[in-house]
Amino acid sequence: VIELIDNSADINQIQSLLKVYASNIKTAVLLSLPNNYSESIKGRTKPPLPHYVKKATDYIHFNYESSVQLEDLANHTGYSVRSLVEGFRKFVGTSPKKYLTEIRLSAARQKLLDPNCGESVTEIAFMAGFTQLGRFSGLYKERFGELPSQTRSSRNTSWQPPRLLSS
């Protein structure tokens, strides 16, 4: 810019160049300092779920207590099992079966932590859609680092329900 001024450059050229510099400085600041737009600028925001994946996740949230099969999801969404599996992997980061299991585990944990819940661990497992208690216990320990019975016995009266995964 100084060189242009020294060489008696056209004022319009100088103004144009200063606008480019100002824009570059703004961009550098936005990229380097945390702000409300940092994640969007860096491309880290999650794109919205395609309608068929959203429809499937909603179905899982409303029906996790019952037997949910891939075919049920396919029928509900109108998409093939293969498309659903690919959509889940791409947009949710897991398979529909693992997503269902996570929802069931979270629901079971919520009940196990609730001091007002009078159901047994077995009843809670069945209510959350698990049919094999040994498998439930193993998955639960893998996910939360303790057995369901340990969670049950450690609950207290200052409990606040954890949030289920949102779809």
Separation between Cα atoms, residue 127 and residue 63, nearest integer Å:
11
Separation between Cα atoms, residue 33 and residue 35, nearest integer Å:
6
Q: How confident is the model at residue 150, as a pLDDT?
A: 92
Taking a C-beta distance cutoff of 8 angstroms, is the pair 113, 161 a contact? yes
Average pLDDT over residues 96-125: 94
Average pLDDT, the chain: 84
The position carrying tokens 């995964």 is: 165
CB-based contacts of 96, cutoff 8 Å, min separation 6: 56, 60, 70, 73, 84, 85, 88
Average pLDDT over residues 16-35: 77
Q: How confident is the model at residue 6, as a pLDDT?
A: 59
Kindly report whether the global pTM for this prediction surpasses the value 0.85.
Answer: no
Taking a C-beta distance cutoff of 8 angstroms, is the pair 84, 52 a contact? yes
What is the tens place of the pLDDT at every residue in 64-80? 999 999 999 999 999 99
Taking a C-beta distance cutoff of 8 angstroms, is the pair 94, 102 a contact? yes
Separation between Cα atoms, residue 74 and residue 62, nearest integer Å:
16
pLDDT at 157 over 60: no
Q: How confident is the model at residue 14, as a pLDDT?
A: 67
Reading the block at residue 158, the tokens are 């200052």
Q: How confident is the model at residue 34, as a pLDDT?
A: 72
Q: How confident is the model at residue 71, as a pLDDT?
A: 95
